[in-house]
Chain A
Amino acid sequence: MYRETEILTRANQSTAHESEDSGDLVINVGPQHPATHGVLHLVITLNGETIKNVEPHLGYIHRSIEKMCESLTYRQFIYVTSRMDYLSAHINNQACALCVEKGLQVEVPQRAQVIRVLMAELTRIASHELWWGAMAMDLGAFTPFFHAFRERETINDIMEETCGARLTMNYMVPGGVMMDIHPHFQQRVKDFIQLYRKKIHEYDELVTGNIIFQNRMKGVGILSAEDAISYGCSGPVARGSGASCDTRKYYPYDAYNKVQFDEVLETGGDSFARYLVRVREMQQSINIIEQLIDNIPEGDFQAKTKAVLKLPKGEFYQRAETARGELGVYIISEGGTTPYRIKFRSPGFSNLSVLGHIARGCKIGDLIAMMGTLDLVIPDIDR
């Protein structure tokens, strides 16, 4: 089998333990470590600086959202999903709302569909901005983090104005959106696009073009397209390897079939390809927003739904493309007001599983860079 080294399961033992016969060094990265962006715990077996094995230990912030949702009604459970992948909270909510709508067979008004897509794309940009800054910080450059936050703050302000919150908005409800957009929304988004266009070249100057950065990223952590699919990777991780998997293209939802955009594909499969995919995806999101921002149709922002939602008996699955990859919401209904079982197929969980595969044989510094390019959000993995 591909697992060469025996790894101790118990984290506390492995801290004090070095396997004596092989001379390997076992170190714990996390649960409290600056590079894990949360409470991920990796047990790394090292030979010198070279990584022999990476073993993730999860569950430090597992809240059992799937179990919680079993006792929440179809209106209530959506707010919890914001807490999964908090950086693309809107898209999580959207996927859940879509799944409930699929069960109810509600037609969502055009206006609500467009607003949802706008919000989802803004969320995607905000998420990628944060990733970009954190990625540079993982490599030791602090300044880009703050520069990325300048643009991200603008998006957060837009969200705050329309949805009433900056991170966990709970804006999508079954049947549409909770409130109509704020009167200033369109102007603010246009201002943001202008700001973004003005500042985007700085990203290349500071990070992308930098020779140190390129040397750190190129040819590191190579993931083949076949492996990416086999490991269930999705989103920019798979697209960086050339595996086309954009849910927005193949299984369009809401207004995505009405807009023109390209699926960003890179064939390198290394960290740099994954980096480029995300940077270029921001550009595509801007394109989508530009197409829609002046064409928000008039009408209702929410379809008429009953006060108490009851899904018919059956199973409903909805895919959505979050900033990290493909999110699946799988609702099994027994006909009541609460789901019988709900499963969230989180993109981060599958993307993390590939880390051990691509990190083998790399240096510690590379592992950190790879974790950056996988864009791990720990609550998304732990749910």
Chain B
Amino acid sequence: MLNEALKQKVSELLPTTAFDEGGEWLNINIEATDWPAFAQHLRNDGSLFFDYLFCLTCVDWKTHLTMVYHLSSTKHRHNMVIKIKLDRDKPEIETASGIWRTAEFHEREVFEMFGVNFINHPDLRLLILPDGWEGKNPLRKDFEDPVNMIKL
């Protein structure tokens, strides 16, 4: 499906969606509360059929966090980028791991690197950081580690 058709389809599904122009793929901004139902639609709708979540990450914009989901369909070969703005102090979002299993690992990574709390995640524990890690989340912009210097 081409970007235009996708855009139309998405705005039918979720009228509140805001579209970002530019970029090769369709960028859409949605609210965190719409996410679980919308994700189900994206996965199960026959003409959309986004079954491949190939990238899941988070960006720290200093004022807020943005979850970025890159979705692709192995049937129709179209791609879409979904962005969800989160509160920086108390970031919370429903997990996608029930829909795309790969999200389980990626969400664990985002959880420890950005501190995003994924509701209903089956196993939200530290994956990469050492056990008993306390303090800030390493990939946030205000993270400084005087012992293990990252910046040169």
Contact = CB atoms under 8 A, between A and B. Distances in A.
Contact of B128 (A58, A231, A319, A340): A58
Contact of A244 (B54, B74, B105): B74
Contact of B131 (A10, A232, A328, A382): A10
A229 B52 contact: yes
Nearest to B150: A67
B51 interface: yes
B123 A3 contact: yes
B84 interface: no
Given A58-B127, A59-B130, A317-B25, A229 B74 contact: yes
Given A345-B54, A345-B55, A231 B102 contact: yes
Q: Please report whether the interface of chain B is mostly helix, strand, loop or mixed according to DSSP.
A: loop
A57 B24 CA distance: 36
Contact of B152 (A71, A349, A350): A71
A67 B138 contact: yes
A340 B141 CA distance: 9
**Could you say which interface size class chain B belongs to?**
35 or more
Interface in A341-362: 341, 343, 345, 349-350, 352-353, 357
A62 B104 CA distance: 19
A11 B131 contact: yes
B122 A326 contact: no
B23 interface: yes
Interface string A35-65: 0000000000000000000001111001010
Contacts of B14: none
A250 B101 contact: no
B130 A350 contact: no
A349 B25 CA distance: 24
Interface in B61-98: 68, 70, 74, 77, 81
A232 B100 contact: yes
Interface of B: 22-25, 27, 51-55, 57, 59-60, 68, 70, 74, 77, 81, 100-102, 104-106, 109, 122-123, 125-131, 138-139, 143, 150-152
